Structure 1
Amino acid sequence: MKMKVLSALLCFFIFIGPLTACSFQQEDSETIRLAEVTRSIFYAPLYVAMEEGFFEEENLNIELTTTWGGDKTMTSLLSDGSDVALVGAETSIYVNSQEPAEPIINFAMLTQSDGTFLMARNETAETFDWENLKGSTFLGQRKGGMPQMAGEFVLKKNNIDPHRDLDLIQNIDFANIANAYASGTGDYVQLFEPQATMFEQKGLGHIVASFGEESGAVPYTVFMAKEGYLEEKGDTLESFTRAIYKAQQWIYESSPEEIAAALTPYFDDTSEEIIADSAVRYRDQESYATSPVLTEEAWDNLQDIMEEAGELPERSDYEKFVDNQWAEKVMNE
């Protein structure tokens, strides 16, 4: 996210209407308007909490809107178009560095690693070596976003300079990256699930590495809200966090078939087999957070990755911008 975009974002807000929304309603329940940055199997615990009734048990009604992009998600949150945002923790660092009227506070973690995989067009996991990327065309993610920063961090870790050793393409909109690769662009691509598994099954390439396993623990996707909302709605956020924690436990205890059944309503165009395979791939590498607590170690690792990418505006105070009180409380019950 460019700083000039953030400056404009903080000066002028537009309301982002729901492009994709799922909700359940319960009489006399508390409603939370939740904006998710994209629709992804990477966010499976959220959909589990909705589908398995964990929010309903907490007397909560979730109005879920997919805002398709970090800038749009934060615009929705800052302009009161939503109460809570599910988005990369780096967006809170970008926005808070601009000193908004109300700070953005991270209060519960959903995913704890990068969710992208490296797909190779002409080699398999058995033949893959990071050195093979040198001189290739690499279809990367949007500059300044967490997928791109984690991707570059991993490339450098494997002695690849992404701006010297590759023909790096990163000017394609997030929603069109998979289509660009499918149409023949790039030797390698960085993809989320289920696109990676779907493309592998279609013979478009092979998943050869996991950026999540390579980059380590980071607060990759986090629930956040404005400081005033946290102060006013503490009991509501405690209930919300409890439902998320139940879902995090459920997904690590359930069968692939049970997980697929819970997620299918949110992915109409994806088979249950692919949903199950994708979710289990994330679970096996522990991409889904096992608790909603956002640790200081993970927060510092996130900022180290941002700094390495040249995108960190300034170090962000963990004690000031992370509030684990509800996450710690529900875990200790």
Structure 2
Amino acid sequence: MKKSWRKKLLPFLCLFLLAAASGCEGTKKEGRQKVRLAEVTRSIFYAPLYASIEKGFFQKHGIDVELKTVWGGDKTMTALITGGADIALVGAETSIYVYAQGSEDPVINFAQLTQTDGTFLVSREKMDRFSWEQLKGKTFLGQRKGGMPQMVGEFVLKKNGIDPHKDLNLLQNVDFANIPNAFASGTGDFVQLFEPQASLFELEGIGHIVASFGAESGKVPYTCFMAKSSYMKNNKDIIEKFTAALYEGQKWVYESSAEEVAKAIQPYFEDTELSVIEMVVDRYRSQKTYAENPLLDEEEWKNLQDIMEEAGELPKRIDIGELVDPSFAEKAMKE
């Protein structure tokens, strides 16, 4: 683990140990149990979650979701381990970082939301025939070092014969929120972007989508729902209901039209045109970015650690049984 993660997490470990003994018990409201959910960012990437809320699947299973966007993996994990949230939606790699600190109450992944990377390679110039070789010698505006987007980005570049630190002028000093603005103002020949920004740039003529990092990297537990081991032990029924509701949302997203999905989740993206939301949903569905069920399997877990290891960010290999509990997903899928 890099020092940046150590510095961010260490100040909260004492608070974590104090909070570990007591689960954040769900409170009942009108016969339903409240679950405080912290999401790492607000993104169409998470459409099945928002659909599950808007279509009433959580309420149907007796849960009221109190959703809060925390903006950042370190902040989301801090909210979880210090008792500010019951469940977190964040990259599975964060559970590995916490575990490597020697936690007595590890954070356990129990349901998967996205199963591929959600970023796209955007070129400033239109390319009718793109090849990865065309990146050599160019300025590449990448994502934050140590985060999953950048780790997957480097993994895909190496897979295609590109050494990101030798063959490119790699820029990683721009904050996540400012990357689109930096590219729009003229920085970089290529940029790695999430949706809907990639599609918006294409519509506005600022850039052109030439490749998908998700399609290139294969399946990986990119974003998962996780909770402290103590919370899961004390609130097994909540985790079961939460996972069952999520699975209904995942199925609904794939069984419904892109237009229906876009209309359902539009309240979460009021500043984005419905047609753009629909286009992004269709693109993510076509490459199976949204997990079709909540089960995180061993192959995906291995792929995650391979990507982290390749990037030099893996503290140590951890068996899937240590940080993943598939029983809730398996039960939801059976029922």
Alignment correspondent of 2:103: 100
1:115 aligns with 2:147: no
Letter in 2 for 1:45: P
* Structure-1 separation of matches of 2:304 and 2:11: 25
- 1:65-144 aligned at under 5 Å gives the runs 65-124=68-127, 126-144=128-146
Cα distance in 2, alignment partners of residues 86 and 50 from structure 1: 14
- What is the alpha-carbon distance in structure 2 between the residues aligned to residue 37 and residue 110 of structure 1? 13
Whether 1:2 aligns to 2:5 is yes
Structure 2 residue corresponding to 1:287, chosen from 286, 289, 296: 289
Q: Secondary structure at the match of 1:2?
A: helix
**Is the partner of 2:7 in helix, strand or coil?**
helix
SS at match of 2:34: strand
Which residue identity lines up with residue 93 of structure 1 in the other structure? I
Q: Once the two structures are superposed, what CA deviation does each residue of 1:264-305 show, in whole Å capped at 9, x if it has no partner?
A: 000010000000000110000000001100001100100000
Equivalent position of 1:44 in the other structure: 47
> What displacement does 1:129 show?
1.2
SS at match of 2:64: strand
Counterpart in the other structure of 1:64: 67
RMSD of the alignment, in Å? 1.2
Instruction: Tell me the percent identity.
Output: 62
Offset at 1:11? 4.2
The structural deviation recorded for 1:67 is 0.5
- Tell me how far 1:5 sits from its aligned partner: 2.6
Indicate which of 257, 260, 267 corresponds to 2:259. 257
Give distance in 2, aligned partners of 1:275 and 1:26: 33
Q: Distance in 1 between matches of 2:323 and 2:194?
A: 28
What is the match of residue 56 of structure 2?
A: 53
Distance 2:123 2:222 in 1: 24
| 1:35 matched to 2:74 | no
* The one of 217, 220, 224 aligned to 2:219: 217
Q: Where does residue 16 of structure 1 map in the other structure?
A: none
Q: CA deviation at 1:26?
A: 5.6
Query: What is the TM-score normalised by the length of structure 2?
Result: 0.94
1:234 corresponds to which letter in structure 2?
K
Give the gaps of 5 or more residues in structure 1. 14-24
Shift, 1:179, TM fit = 1.5
Deviation of 1:4 after TM superposition, in Å, equals 3.1
Aligned partners of 1:112 and 1:221 also within 8 Å: yes
Q: Tell me the alpha carbon deviations over residues 216-271 of structure 1, each in whole angstroms, 9 at most, x when there is no partner.
A: 00000000000001001111111100111001100111111101101100001000
More deviation, 173-182/278-287: 173-182
Report Cα offsets for 1:7-29 as digits up to 9, x if no partner: 2342468xxxxxxxxxxx96221
Q: Distance in 1 between matches of 2:310 and 2:185?
A: 32
SS at match of 1:168: strand
Per the alignment, in what secondary structure is the counterpart of residue 62 of structure 1?
strand
Equivalent runs, 1:7-26 vs 2, <5 Å:
7-11=10-14
Distance (Å, rounded) in 2 between the aligned partners of 1:56 and 1:12: 32
Partner SS state of residue 264, structure 1: helix
Q: Deviations over 1:179-199 (max 9, x none)?
A: 111111111111111111111
